[in-house]
Structure 1
Amino acid sequence: MRAPFPVVPMSAKIPTAAEIRATFLDFFKEKQHTIVPSDNVGYTSRDGARIFTNAGMNQFVPIFLGERQADVDTWPGVLSKGLPTRAADTQKCIRAGGKHNDLEDVGLDTYHHTFFEMLGNWSFGDYFKKEAISWSWELIVERFKFPPSRVFATIYQPNKEKGDPADRDQESWELWAEKFRSVGLDPEIHIVNGNKKDNFWMMADTGPCGPCTEIHIDLTPGPINLDEDRQRAGAKLVNGSDASCIEIWNNVFIQYNANPDGTFTPLPAQHVDTGMGFERLTSIIQGTKNFTDFETAKISNYDTDVFEPIFNELTKLSGKHYLSTLPIANEQGHVIPVTDQEKIDVAFRVIADHLRTLSFSIADGIQPGNSDRNYTLRRILRRAVKYGRTLEFKEPFFYKLVDVLAQHMGDVFPELRVKKDQIKSVLKLEEEAFNRTLDRGIALFESEASSRPSISGDFAFQLYDTFGFPLDLTELLARERGLTVDTIGFEKLMEEQKQRAREAGQKNKKVVSMTEIETKDATQFLGYDELSTEAKVLEVVSMKDKTAVVLDRSVCYAEMGGQVGDSGQIILGANAYPVSSTTKVGNTWLHFIEGEEAPATGAEIQLEVDATRRHAIERHHTATHILHWALHEVVSQDATQKGSNVNPDKLTFDFNSGALTPGQLADIERLANERIVANDTVSWTEVPYTDVKANASIMQLFGEKYPEVVRVVQIGGKAHALNGYSMELCGGTHTRHTGEIGLFRLVGEGAVAAGVRRIEAIAGLEAYNAARADAELLKVLSGKVGSQGIHDLEKKIENLLAQQKELEKSLKAAQQREASGKAKELIATAENNVLIANLGDVDGDYAMAVNDALKGVFNGVVVLGSTGHGNVTLMATVSKDHQAKVQAGKIIQTIAPIVGGKGGGKPDFARGGGKDVSKIDAALAEARKLVG
């Protein structure tokens, strides 16, 4: 159980973003607020629409309407007594569709985002206007130290002639007046009336609402003083369009429910709902150097340490630099970047913003797709990839930014770190799919734009249908060239296509049961060796509320033998159809897809597996075989398997036995981890079943009916020799080496039937996350027991960490063994005593391990390169017999500058590196020229 947000002390100097966030939350914690975690960014409105969470109050709507209490069970990890009536948080928000849509403005100014954090404090029928306004003043003026003379408040002043609801908010005016008078300021100047548009807050046309009071800050240049004329000038800017006076905090007094008929009904209780944009608050504090400089202040959400880490990583990857330039509006009022630097800076802002939106969405379970908010994410990603071309990215780059985002924001939002690999996998797949058509689409657009005064609906639809260009992307390209797009014509063609798809879908679909599915040819399964393939749609079938696509070939494992089926996506032109699961009937693979639309029968498609999910399944499945072996070693050879289940999150294994002792469970876990870190080879071989019956070492489930040729999965021994310590008949997918499994942990053991026990276990990242959670829980518990209990718990924590260190050492040893195997593979590729190889996305330590393994067995010239963690590592080794011809130091000194770096060393060994991973092959090609 963790605290919702980490505590970070406020700095006496210019505070960091983390310190600013923590100051807000700590302040309200002092005011007896329960600090709750952010809600999911995916929100389902009360009318059933699947939208994004666009305000901090979304998760509290049922509380405001009196439908439920603020029960702490709603917020996992929150430690609170009773039912809290006060809460505070920082909420993840996305505004990229519907009423609140900032997508088209992102990148063109200093403050628009599709993703942002909303700081908020809440009262559920507890305090109201007096406390809310008093604490707002205390936090802004006394804690953050905003200059009072630059602070303005607005209150609600209805226009009764227009039928505005409620009366003037006189109570708020008087509360603010007291605060301004206390520092010698005139409330008539510093309190501004606002109409319904500005000061009556409604999240949507219906739902909880009420009058609000906003706090604005005057950022105009000039000294801080009490000059009345200057303050009057500042007051005139409030609720205007001048960016030098902006709103920073909104206190909403939830009193009414807006009804569908336009009327307003008083709520059972009065609530407070506040929202302060975290990025904007940070930009003001950091931009004015903690309110010490309003003359040269640069107030930009992007010129803060919220975005700095992402910009730094973009610079490393692209070689471009962010200089904060902003485009200005042309004569037509369109804001279009003109200079190269303006285009670069817009691209930086768009890519950084869109990275946050997509990463948080995927972490919260929303992936790019074909409908509603899923398609919005696909549009956003493709927009980011297009802007990547401005930074001269030709290969997938977007997913490489996830690591720095997870590192920078993972303390506050740990889901980014937990789901990091999944986020990267999804983004990479989407990026690769769009990259295949992006350049051709842009080239076609350029040709069309050069010969036409506007972009027709027909052409915009062609870009969408053939190259995957969302309409807003075509509009963006057009705006950059001063052109318009016939959106009405586009929408007409879109509707016609949808109608054709609906008709074709109904015509092609066969409503059948599982036992009625027939195809002329069996599905060819390629998934043991490949994760993507081209395929042809043989049939589209409908079974109750599911739609399944039958393909002639597949890389998706179909659910069988306890292993769950794969997920992934079917790509056809501009469309991607998510595959939620895969199963089989006979030799026919069924790929279940989401939504009503499906590719047509006969279509040529691209099928891709969700690689991150597949690898997690493979770790658990291979661990199941090791567990089975360890069970026989510790308990008995008679502990016979009765069933198993393997999925990305865990594995279960059923067997006949009595209850296991704690000692036996500990021995099983220890043995399994020993085999894992030994990094044994995992291989599989197809053999006649008659050979299996003659080999007692191969485990099989008696009573099962096997085909004439079966697949044996072997762990240990010589690959394919059927001499491993574990050999089982199995059709599932597996890791190539046991070391890929990582940590293995038993999490449960118990009875499931008479004489049948079940072990539940986790492996890989799931096991690592569980170990971390246990350590955190022990720390929490240690504060609730006596001194001896604390001592014992601390010892347990120390032992757990020591075990983790030992496992890391073992994994390091496994890496060295893996490097040795890689070295043997590379020797076969050497020519004329020269071995030059790109090891790919591995770190420098692994490359060094391969290099060391080659030293003892290869006499010649070795040049290795790797690109792990976004950095290029280069190293050269030259045996003594070859140093008269070429020296290692000379090689590295020559090729390192090609990747934007440097290096050097001795005649026998040298090492270097750089940041430009796209040039590694060019550097290795130059090395080959040097050695001849």
Structure 2
Amino acid sequence: MTAAEIRQSFLDFFREKQHTIVPSASLLPQSPGLLFTNAGMNPFVPYFLGVEKAPYDPPRAVDTQKCIRAGGKHNDLEDVGYDTYHHTFFEMLGNWSFGNYFKKEAIQWAWELVVERWGLPAHRLHASVYAPKAGDPGEFDQESWDIWAELFLSKGCDPNVQIVNGNVKDNFWMMGETGPCGPCSELHVNLTPAGDPMEGRLLVNNDSDLCIEIWNLVFIQYNAEADGSFRELPAKHIDTGMGFERACSIIQGTKGFTDFSQKPSNYATDVFMPIFRKIEELSGKAYVNVYPALGADRSVFDEEMKTAIAFRVIADHLRTLSFSIADGIMPGNNGRNYVLRRILRRAVRYGRQLGFSGEKPFFGALVETLVAEMGDAFPELKNRQDTVRATLEQEEASFNQTLDRGLKRFEDALPDVKDNTLSGDDAFELYDTYGFPVDLTELLCAERGLKIDTARFEALMEEQRERARAAQKSTVVRALDISTDAVTSFTGFDADEAEATVLEVHPQEDALFVITDATPFYAEMGGQAGDTGTLVFGDQEIAITGVQQVGKARAHIVDNSTSVKPGDKVTLKLDAVRRRPIEAHHTATHLLHWALHEVVSKDAAQQGSSVDENRLRFDFNSGAVTPEQIETMEEKVNAAIKANDAVSWKEVQHASIKGRPDIMQFFGDKYGEFVRVVQIGGGRGDLTGYSMELCGGTHVRNTGEIGLFKIKSEGAIASGVRRIEAVCGENAWAYLNEAVEKWDSDLKAAREKLKAANEKLASIGEAPVSVNDFPHIMGAMLVERADIAELNATFNHGARTLEETKEAAVEAEKRFKKLQAGAAAKQADAALAELIAAGGAIVATFEADASLLQELLNGMKKQGFTGAGFVIVDDGDKLHLGAYCGDAAQAAGHKAGDILRDLAAIAGGKGGGKADQARGAAPDRSKLAEIEAAAKAKLA
């Protein structure tokens, strides 16, 4: 079975057992104690605790859950690539009962699927049951032992051999330090060639890759409390987790449980091999499925082993990062975001092992392959493909800027190493200056048989944290280095001008700060940009470039040549043309906050905002927001704008509105005695609006003044924090017109690619690939459109057309290449037959797609060629090179890997492989004749 068939087989089996198939939850966990969703049970915790009722009838579910274990209690990061089965990202197949069935059904159905339906020989299956020691929670799980015993006896197996007792570490499952938990029964598969049950029994839970845990049946009956106690849950539940990658490994690696002569590996399955093939294509290096011995010294690995580990680490980390970004978790500097950045930087560094560099980035180019393999099962990956690739490319480019310098700094530090220990100061410098996560430095050290002075490193880290804390406490952001007891009355809520008296003038190095008794100018605070405008003094109009709060006064910043003095009468005029869009964006932010609560979650709390004349930015805590939710919020905000609802404000005593959930209050007791409530809707100032927030900023008088509202972007910016950027009024129309022009340009380019690909198909007599067309939109036409739903429908239609056209072009190109490769393969078989019949070594060149190379190498083996051969496939972009050495050639001292490396170097290429086959690529096509001549001389 393929991986996709195995996944579907699991889901279909439990659907037959009346389970509802549910989609995977986000990798952003609901539990605040988790970095990532790390187990299948995470999304169902409220059902286990009894605080929510499971919405399934009957209350059973089945799913495949995306999981990451790369931080916190469950962390497999350091093991990735070094064995056959550890990953940071994996799928957990699971079936669930929420107070419905319990141990008997869970165990019997597990047996039915694995033994009866999939065909695993019963004597190769070991079940473990919970056997606590004194002081451990719960008691010996006799019930599970008896159920398993009956099943094993039915197949003629000895239960005393097949069933193993497990301790609290192995057979009592906990999600974290607190939360639902209980005893569990694990299924282990004996992968030894002989399959001796006594041998397999000794390997259970002993870190052997010849006896792998494949499925864990957890019997949820307790809740682990913060004080260390275990509380009985109101109902008993079933939580099972089968490692999808492990299931694929065992089924595919044993040819459906029929051949145990080779040790299975998760990586030698169609879950990973397509990614490996893409890495081979990009790097010119070949993947070999070899693994180091357990606990082997990493400093003595040969190039083949290092290359194999690099392939596996990169493929694993690609999956972790791509799925995280698709769920809105972005690489960053804190918490789970920093875990992702560490993982990405590890992958980039391992890329150096494969020849990738700052001049040859690679990571983003792997996304398309991953999406092709997993996008159907996880549509969010396909929907966010462009964002995933762009993020990976940006992060890789950023780290590449310092990676080479950091590696050089690491090498420079090696002569000073004492007692095989890199100093903590050097490790800290690599972290602080070059962005090396400490685990990356540990990796570099392990490859050289070194360790790090971690105590010194942690001491330096703590010093840095303390400096940051001290700076945060001692730094006071002041408008200017003056003090004043003056008070300025703000009139800008209702007026754009004010007659004022100058109270104080404070000359500074490059400006003059003028404090007046009144002003319409808003000083930047609360996220709203400050005003600009003019100060009129006599017949002078003096530009005010900014205004800042100083105590209870406001200081206007003007040129230091201005001659005003205390007592002068001036007129202050703010730039109303600039202020109006600021107000529109500010009021739109309130409407957005209201719509967010209506559409996404009442718990989505504001984490910051910024409004100016060009756009608004709103940060909030939440999980990923769907495109459909974005559109719904836009429609709600624009409906409020169209309704022209009143915007009003009222000064009230803070005590009178404390505790009112309908009035947004963000800073609690930090408010003064009186506060200003801005409301939208309701009667003016009567605190009955549908949107009400404490706010000291300026706003429009009616929502109709905002004009069109359009969200430009939405995404994660930090752990659990997301950001929306939007535009209003003329800024919105300008954005839409620019978007249309770009869409129009992109569509034209996509049509040209489709046309070119179809012309290739026509050249070999094949039908073209067609796509539903959508007429061009002229930017000017958008100005006449006022309904956001119609606008979004138009844009979505256009976006679909663009995407379909791109996909059609790709499909046409792939079809052409496949047909071309197929035809070339037939020609190659015939050509190889002639070349083999002619006798001697084979040196031949073909003009075809790169996929032909492996066909040629396989063809020589298939046709029983025992000599040496060197084949070149010129795809018009680069030379793809393959070396082959049959038994006779090897006996004569030829090795395909050596031949490939020597010849590829002629054209600036690389490659490698084993003695019988090797592959590589070279960029300099002008060296084709030279390579051919050298190959003939070498193989003569």
TM-score class normalised by the smaller sequence: 0.5 to 0.7
Contact 1:198/1:239 (<8 A) preserved: yes
Q: Which amino acid aligns with 1:292?
A: T
Aligned: 1:422 with 2:387: yes
What does residue 57 of structure 1 align with? 41
Q: Which range moves more in the overlay, 446-455 or 403-412?
A: 446-455
Aligned partners of 2:461 and 2:91: how far apart in 1?
35
Alignment CA distance shift 1:179-1:895 (3 Å): closer
Paired residue for 1:761, among 791, 799, 804?
Answer: 791
SS in 2 for 1:324: coil
Q: Which amino acid aligns with 1:194?
A: G
What does residue 310 of structure 2 align with? 347
Paired residue for 1:214, among 180, 183, 186?
Answer: 186
Paired residue for 2:330, among 367, 383, 386?
Answer: 367
Aligned partners of 2:530 and 2:619: how far apart in 1?
20
Aligned: 1:443 with 2:417: no
- Shift of the alpha carbon at 1:307? 0.2
Paired residue for 1:292, among 238, 241, 258?
Answer: 258
Aligned: 1:398 with 2:369: no
- Shift of the alpha carbon at 1:233? 2.7
Alignment CA distance shift 1:449-1:244 (3 Å): same
What does residue 232 of structure 2 align with? 266
Q: What are the equivalent positions in structure 2 for 1:192-211 lying under 5 Å apart?
A: 192-211=164-183
Alignment CA distance shift 1:61-1:174 (3 Å): same
What does residue 27 of structure 1 align with? 13
Aligned partners of 1:88 and 1:586: how far apart in 2?
50
- Shift of the alpha carbon at 1:411? 0.8
What does residue 776 of structure 1 align with? none
Please give the per-residue CA displacement for 1:891-918, whole angstroms capped at 9, x wherever unaligned: x99994755489xxxxxxxxxx999999
- Shift of the alpha carbon at 1:811? 11
Q: Which range moves more in the overlay, 389-398 or 502-511?
A: 502-511
SS in 2 for 1:118: strand
Aligned: 1:67 with 2:41: no
Aligned partners of 1:241 and 1:364: how far apart in 2?
32
What does residue 644 of structure 1 align with? 708
What does residue 103 of structure 1 align with? 77
SS in 1 for 2:330: coil
What does residue 407 of structure 1 align with? 372
Paired residue for 1:302, among 263, 267, 284?
Answer: 267
Aligned partners of 1:189 and 1:298: how far apart in 2?
23
Report which of the two structures shows the higher radius of gyration computed on alpha carbons: 2
Q: Which amino acid aligns with 1:67?
A: V
SS in 2 for 1:155: strand
Q: Which amino acid aligns with 1:293?
A: D
Contact 2:210/2:263 (<8 A) preserved: no
What does residue 124 of structure 1 align with? 98
Q: Which amino acid aligns with 1:98?
A: G
What does residue 524 of structure 2 align with? 517
Contact 1:901/1:915 (<8 A) preserved: no
SS in 1 for 2:87: coil
Alignment CA distance shift 1:208-1:594 (3 Å): closer
What does residue 238 of structure 1 align with? 204
- Shift of the alpha carbon at 1:181? 1.1
Contact 2:172/2:184 (<8 A) preserved: yes
Question: Share of identical aligned residues, percent?
Answer: 50
SS in 2 for 1:52: coil
Aligned partners of 2:162 and 2:143: how far apart in 1?
16
SS in 1 for 2:239: strand
Q: Which range moves more in the overlay, 914-923 or 399-408?
A: 914-923
Q: Which amino acid aligns with 2:447?
A: E
Contact 2:18/2:60 (<8 A) preserved: yes
Q: Which amino acid aligns with 2:33?
A: A
SS in 1 for 2:708: strand
Aligned partners of 1:289 and 1:842: how far apart in 2?
30
Alignment CA distance shift 1:311-1:119 (3 Å): same
Q: Which range moves more in the overlay, 337-346 or 87-96?
A: 337-346
Please give the per-residue CA displacement for 1:418-474, whole angstroms capped at 9, x wherever unaligned: 000000111111111100000110011012124413211111111111111011101
Please give the per-residue CA displacement for 1:516-558, whole angstroms capped at 9, x wherever unaligned: 2399x999xxxxxxxxxxxxxx99999xxxxxxxxxxxxxxx9
What does residue 36 of structure 1 align with? 22
Aligned partners of 2:390 and 2:547: how far apart in 1?
29
Aligned partners of 1:397 and 1:475: how far apart in 2?
24
Contact 1:745/1:767 (<8 A) preserved: no
What does residue 739 of structure 1 align with? 744
Alignment CA distance shift 1:738-1:920 (3 Å): farther
Aligned: 1:383 with 2:333: no
Contact 2:81/2:310 (<8 A) preserved: yes
SS in 2 for 1:761: helix
Contact 2:128/2:187 (<8 A) preserved: yes
Q: What are the equivalent positions in structure 2 for 1:480-499 lying under 5 Å apart?
A: 480-499=447-466
Aligned: 1:88 with 2:62: yes
Report how many residues are paired: 613
Q: Which amino acid aligns with 1:372?
A: G
Structure 2, unpaired ranges of 5+:
480-489, 491-520, 532-545, 551-580, 590-606, 622-626, 639-703, 715-727, 748-772, 777-784, 818-848, 852-871, 883-906, 912-919, 930-940
SS in 1 for 2:208: coil
What does residue 175 of structure 1 align with? 147
- Shift of the alpha carbon at 1:277? 0.4
SS in 2 for 1:42: coil
Contact 1:899/1:914 (<8 A) preserved: no
SS in 2 for 1:180: helix
What does residue 138 of structure 2 align with? 166
Aligned: 1:320 with 2:285: yes
Contact 2:881/2:922 (<8 A) preserved: no
- Shift of the alpha carbon at 1:501? 2.7
SS in 2 for 1:510: coil
Contact 1:34/1:86 (<8 A) preserved: yes
- Shift of the alpha carbon at 1:231? 2.4
Contact 2:524/2:548 (<8 A) preserved: no
Aligned partners of 1:208 and 1:469: how far apart in 2?
37
Contact 2:523/2:547 (<8 A) preserved: no
- Shift of the alpha carbon at 1:413? 0.3
Please give the per-residue CA displacement for 1:316-369, whole angstroms capped at 9, x wherever unaligned: 100111101112356xx6445611111110100000000000000000010001
Paired residue for 2:435, among 468, 472, 484?
Answer: 468
Please report the RMSD computed on the Cα atoms of aligned residues, expressed in angstroms.
4.9
Contact 1:337/1:343 (<8 A) preserved: no
- Shift of the alpha carbon at 1:649? 6.7
Paired residue for 2:120, among 146, 149, 155?
Answer: 146
Paired residue for 1:479, among 446, 450, 471?
Answer: 446
Aligned partners of 1:842 and 1:504: how far apart in 2?
58
- Shift of the alpha carbon at 1:737? 4.6
Please give the per-residue CA displacement for 1:622-662, whole angstroms capped at 9, x wherever unaligned: xx9xxxxxxxxxxxxxxx99822232479xxxxxxxxxxxx
Aligned partners of 1:202 and 1:893: how far apart in 2?
55
Q: Which amino acid aligns with 1:421?
A: D
Please give the per-residue CA displacement for 1:123-157, whole angstroms capped at 9, x wherever unaligned: 11111111111111111110110001111111112
Aligned partners of 2:547 and 2:321: how far apart in 1?
33
Please give the per-residue CA displacement for 1:834-890, whole angstroms capped at 9, x wherever unaligned: xxxxxxx99999xxxxxxxxxxxxxxxxxxxxxxx999xxxxxxxxxxxxxxxxxxx
What does residue 75 of structure 1 align with? none
What does residue 854 of structure 1 align with? none
What does residue 17 of structure 1 align with? 3
Q: Which amino acid aligns with 2:362?
A: F
Please give the per-residue CA displacement for 1:7-28, whole angstroms capped at 9, x wherever unaligned: xxxxxxxx11111111111100
Q: Which amino acid aligns with 1:645?
A: F
Alignment CA distance shift 1:442-1:763 (3 Å): farther
SS in 2 for 1:214: strand
